[in-house]
Structure 1
Amino acid sequence: MEASKLHRAIEAGWATAAALGLQVDDAVVITNSDRITLRLVPCDVLVRVSLSAHLAGMEFEVEIARRLAEVGGPVAELDPRVEPRVYERDDFAVSLWTYYEPVGSEIAPALYADALERYHAALRRIDLEAPDLTDRVAGALSEVSDRKQTPELSDPDREFLSSTLSNQSTVISGGKQLLHGEPHPGNLLNTRRGPLFVDLATCCRGPIEFDLAHAPEEVAEHYPEADHDLVRRCRVLMWALISTWRWRWDDQFPDRSYWRVETLNRVRAALA
């Protein structure tokens, strides 16, 4: 989030929690991207704050979390001390979550695969309207084609991303189920309760191999009946999508300049 809005966003998260009766003496910024994540103390609540323009996405995430918790899915839960919804304050949308003290640094591939398999099983137990992965690809293709959306993308790289997205879109024409959408290691917490998934708003419909493509390569080896060729092709598609997002004119991802180059390199490496 831009520096000009960061302070106001922190204040919105702080004030929302305080107004709900939680004691707040300090706020620690954990992540800062298109939205910020705060740990408020001493109430020990995790707060996510986004611009109100992203209210619908925040509400979608809260609804997914609520439903998955009801069926025992391995997800970080909303804070039980407040009403499970998104709050609006000063042009920001705010959601409050349980804070989990991290345990260790890495999750073994077998445990990662088990958590993802249980997550997919929980998703099959809920009825939820979610966008199709084809919509995500179509959106990326539109942005690559639109110079106003990706003005700094060179012509050779624009053609490369466009052809890659078009060619790899065939990988998602098979079986579809609800997915996390971006279950990379940064979205899987290692807690005393075991691995728990976070950042659920990327939920979409597609093949399970698309989720596996976001995990470390060894994870797919432990996931029953995974199509390993499809995982590799989905990894190409994943990096092409991420690269497109980094080239958006309004992208606020940390170290954007580095990741613009790195993601293009990773697309080429995945294709090779």
Structure 2
Amino acid sequence: MEPADLHRAVEAGRATASGVGLQVDDVSVVHNSDRVALRLVPCDVLARVAPLGHLGDSEFEVDVARRLADVEAPVAELDPRVEPRVYVRDAFAVSLWTYYEPLGSEIAPADYADVFLRHHAALRQIDLDAPHFTDRVAGALREVDDGERSPELSDRDRAFLSDTLGGLSAAISSDRAGDQLLHGEPHPGNLLNTRKGPLFVDLATCCRGPVEFDLAHAPEDVGQHYPGADQDLIHRCRAVNWAMFSAWRWRRDDQMPDRDHWRVEGLNRVRAALDRCGTG
């Protein structure tokens, strides 16, 4: 968020927590993108604050979290001291979560695969109306194919991303027999190493698809420790993931830090992923 919006988001998070009886003496920004994550102390809450246009996504995330908590999934939990819902404050959607102090050590590939197995098993126990991953691909395609939404994307790269997103997603989704609920974006930034063990966060990306779509977000060694995973399918999913990432970076209104670097790097990652799966 831009500084003025960020200031308002911080105040919305502070006021929301204070309004439900939590003590907030200080606020620090943990993450700032299209929505922000704030640490509130001394109540030790993580407030996730999004513009009101993302209210539906915030409500979906809270619903996913509540259902997964019931089946003891390895996910971050909503703060148990307050009503588990989304609060609206000053044109922002605010949800309040337990804050977990992250451990400094990396999560080993075998442990990463193990938490995937437990998370996927938990997801199979809940009934949820979630989009298919191809719906997200379609959203990325709209950004790529509309020159007004991505005016700085060259014609050559536009065609490259469009062909990659359309062709690979169609091939991956041609057989949906093994599809299930997924996290959706379980990259290392969305898996916290905590004293309770590894916990997934950012649950608003929950979707349906093959487990390989999730595995493609993790470091490459992780998929090798996941029993029964199709390694070739992981490579194809990784190319789609990087193509979607690149599509978002070329949006006119994208606010990711160091966006210019990631615009170039994203396209390079797509090409590298395509080379790995033999379709470059």
Distance (whole Å) between structure 2 residues aligned to residue 228 and residue 251 of structure 1: 32
Query: What is the CA-CA distance between 1:139 and the residue it aligns to?
Result: 1.7
Aligned residue for 1:88? 88
Residue type of the alignment partner of 2:69: A
Q: What are the Cα deviations for residues 34-61 of structure 1, in whole angstroms up to 9, with x where unaligned?
A: 1010000111111000001100000000
Q: Unaligned stretches of 5+ in structure 2? A: 276-280
Aligned residue for 1:19? 19
Distance (whole Å) between structure 2 residues aligned to residue 3 and residue 114 of structure 1: 40
Distance (whole Å) between structure 1 residues aligned to residue 174 and residue 11 of structure 2: 45
Q: Unaligned stretches of 5+ in structure 1? A: none
- State percent identity of aligned pairs: 72
Aligned residue for 2:238? 235
Residue type of the alignment partner of 1:28: S
Larger mean CA deviation between 170-179 and 94-103 belongs to 170-179
Aligned residue for 2:68? 68
Distance (whole Å) between structure 2 residues aligned to residue 266 and residue 172 of structure 1: 22
DSSP 3-state at the match of 1:240: helix
Larger mean CA deviation between 202-211 and 136-145 belongs to 136-145
Q: What are the Cα deviations for residues 62-102 of structure 1, in whole angstroms up to 9, with x where unaligned?
A: 00001001001000000001000000000000000001111
Distance (whole Å) between structure 2 residues aligned to residue 104 and residue 146 of structure 1: 42
Aligned residue for 1:198? 201
Q: How does 1:118-129 map to 2 (within 5 A)?
A: 118-129=118-129
DSSP 3-state at the match of 1:183: coil
Aligned residue for 2:98? 98
Query: What is the CA-CA distance between 1:166 and the residue it aligns to?
Result: 1.7
DSSP 3-state at the match of 2:224: helix
Q: What are the Cα deviations for residues 93-126 of structure 1, in whole angstroms up to 9, with x where unaligned?
A: 0000001111223100011001011111000000
Match of 2:217 among 214, 218, 223: 214
Aligned residue for 2:264? 261
Q: What are the Cα deviations for residues 124-162 of structure 1, in whole angstroms up to 9, with x where unaligned?
A: 000000011111112222221101111110111001101
C-alpha RMSD of matched pairs (Å):
0.8
Distance (whole Å) between structure 1 residues aligned to residue 162 and residue 257 of structure 2: 24
Residue type of the alignment partner of 2:229: A
Aligned residue for 2:278? none
Q: How does 1:30-179 map to 2 (within 5 A)?
A: 30-169=30-169, 170-174=171-175, 175-179=178-182
Distance (whole Å) between structure 2 residues aligned to residue 105 and residue 5 of structure 1: 33
Residue type of the alignment partner of 2:188: P
TM-score (ref. length: structure 1)? 0.99
Runs of 4+ more than 6 Å apart: none
Residue type of the alignment partner of 1:230: L
Distance (whole Å) between structure 1 residues aligned to residue 203 and residue 34 of structure 2: 15
Distance (whole Å) between structure 2 residues aligned to residue 96 and residue 243 of structure 1: 30
Distance (whole Å) between structure 2 residues aligned to residue 48 and residue 216 of structure 1: 26
Distance (whole Å) between structure 1 residues aligned to residue 105 and residue 172 of structure 2: 32
Query: What is the CA-CA distance between 1:173 and the residue it aligns to?
Result: 2.5
Aligned length: 272
DSSP 3-state at the match of 1:181: coil
Distance (whole Å) between structure 2 residues aligned to residue 178 and residue 96 of structure 1: 24
Residue type of the alignment partner of 1:26: D
TM-score (ref. length: structure 2)? 0.96
Residue type of the alignment partner of 2:30: I
Distance (whole Å) between structure 2 residues aligned to residue 254 and residue 173 of structure 1: 36
Query: What is the CA-CA distance between 1:251 and the residue it aligns to?
Result: 1.0
